[in-house]
Amino acid sequence: MMKKVTIQQLSPGQYRIHRFPPIADPVNHHPSDGFGDGDPALNWQDSQFELQQKLDEGFQQGLAKGFDEGIAQGVDQGHQRGLLEGRKEGFQQGFAQGELAGQEVFSQAVRPVEKILFELEEWHQEKDKQQRQLICDLVQKVSQQVIRAELTLMPQQIFALVDEALEAIPGKTEKIIIELNPQDIDRIHTINKSLPEAWKLIANPELPVGGCLLITDNAEADVGCDARLEACIENVQQHLVEQNQPLETPINVEQEPDDQNHASKGEGE
């Protein structure tokens, strides 16, 4: 049977009390469900206690499970990271040790090459020095031949050297002795070269052709062509021969950096 609903109409200014419906229907417990016919407040407290106890058990189980999973995940991540760091460190150490070992092997291998290069450079410098000396000797011999040929044609040129030497000697000279090679004296007499009265020519077989020894009261000087030529040749040798200094230390063969090794090292890192 359906309930009869009565609708009450209110006039303006009237009111009535509103009754809110119950939140939930009352639960009627059966004696067999464990609650019995006891005090409802005690039954509610027991149910709340059991609920809280189950919540605590679930929380502890979740906490333990999360802890175990966190430990397992942390161990796995730590293992992976440690393995990666170990590989990286091992690669770097191995690369450094291999590089040092390679440099040592290279150094031992190039030592004979350094010795050969040093000996080859020494030989090259010695041959170059010998060639320079041969050039100086050739220049000296050619110059001597040219000077002697010139003096043979014009022996009076030697007196120009005597005049130059006398100007360099300090003080006034009363007595002048000029020693010449006998061949030069014969050529001078042949051309009837007139000499100053203070000059006295003396033949000296020990002097070479073109040689001239000047003797005065205050000094004695070799004014021959050979002496001047030797001074010039010594100057040439000083700049041409002695300028080439020998090696003092062996040649060092340096190892070029290996770009591929550095590239591999960068990839490993």
Is residue 15 over pLDDT 80? no
> Alpha carbon of 25 to those of 21, 28, 55, 134: distances in Å?
10, 9, 26, 135
Q: 177 - beta bridge partners? A: 200, 215
pLDDT band at 140 (very low <50, low <70, confident <90, very high): confident
Percent of the chain predicted with pLDDT > 90: 0
Is residue 120 over pLDDT 70? yes
Calpha distance 154→145 (Å, rounded): 14
> Alpha carbon of 63 to those of 66, 169, 236: distances in Å?
5, 121, 102
Q: Which residue has the higher pLDDT, 87 or 40?
A: 87
- Beta-carbon count within 10 A of 162 CB: 19
Calpha distance 181→200 (Å, rounded): 14
pLDDT in tens, 76-91: 777 788 778 888 888 8
In this structure, of 118-122, 130-134, 184-188, the range with the lowest mean pLDDT score is 184-188
Is residue 74 over pLDDT 60? yes
> Which superfamily does 125-240 belong to?
ATP synthase, E subunit, C-terminal (3.30.2320.30)
pLDDT band at 238 (very low <50, low <70, confident <90, very high): confident
Torsion 159-161-167-169 (CA) sign: negative
Calpha distance 204→180 (Å, rounded): 6
**Unique residue bearing structure tokens 């002097």:** 207
Q: What is the dihedral of CA 185, 188, 190, 195, to 10 degrees?
A: -120
Average pLDDT value over all residues in the chain: 74
pLDDT band at 178 (very low <50, low <70, confident <90, very high): confident
Instruction: Compute the average pLDDT of residues 31-54.
Output: 64
Domain boundaries, the chain: 125-240
Q: Tokens for 256, please give them.
A: 């070029």
The whole-number pLDDT of residue 181 equals 85
Q: Of the candidates 140, 162, 144, which has an alpha carbon nearest to the alpha carbon of residue 221? A: 162
Contacts of 172 (CB under 8 A, 6+ apart): none
Question: What's this model's pTM, rounded to 2 decimal places?
Answer: 0.42
Calpha distance 144→132 (Å, rounded): 18
The whole-number pLDDT of residue 245 equals 55
Calpha distance 144→156 (Å, rounded): 17
The whole-number pLDDT of residue 163 equals 80
